[in-house]
Amino acid sequence: MATMNSNVASTSAGTTSIKLGARKEALAQLAKHKQRTLHSLVLEAVDNYVAQEQARLEYEAQAVRSYESFQATGLHITLDELETWAKNLGTTNSPELPVCHK
């Protein structure tokens, strides 16, 4: 029975072949240096890519939702309000986030 790395999410078992070309030698050298398998490096790279792309898609979806909310309500904060708030973050008198207004 095959064991699965706990950091790897899988929806189905199976094998996918990837032609790495010249990348294979570079990966093999990295794997040897890190005392890991080439397979584990490729899985980590794929997992990182998937997580990064999922985060980007969620960020974009949130931006669309924010814009749609602004279109529907007109509520916003100005750039000046945001900059004033941001400049004071981490100071002894950190301000509250500006309240949205029309």
Strand partners of residue 76? 101
Per-residue model confidence as pLDDT tens digits over 75-99: 999 999 999 999 999 888 888 899 9
In a domain? residue 36? yes
93 or 6: which carries more pLDDT confidence?
93
For the full predicted model, state whether its pTM sits above 0.75. Answer: no
Instruction: Give the pLDDT score at 93.
Output: 81
Whether pLDDT at 4 is above 80: no
Instruction: Give the pLDDT score at 94.
Output: 80
Whether pLDDT at 11 is above 60: no
In a domain? residue 41? yes
Instruction: Give the pLDDT score at 69.
Output: 96
Q: What range defines the domain where residue 37 resides?
A: 23-73
Whether 38 and 18 have beta carbons less than 8 Å apart is answered as no
Whether pLDDT at 15 is above 60: yes
HEC string of the chain?
A: CCCCCCCCCCCCCCCCCCCCCCHHHHHHHHHHHHCCCHHHHHHHHHHHHHHHHHHHHHHHHHHHHHHHHHHHHCCECCHHHHHHHHHCCCCCCCCCCCCCEC
In a domain? residue 88? no
In a domain? residue 66? yes
In a domain? residue 78? no
Provide the Cα torsion 12, 17, 19, 23; round to 10°: 60
In a domain? residue 44? yes
Per-residue model confidence as pLDDT tens digits over 25-43: 999 999 999 999 999 999 9
In a domain? residue 4? no
Whether pLDDT at 14 is above 90: no
How many domains does the structure of the chain reveal?
1
In a domain? residue 38? yes
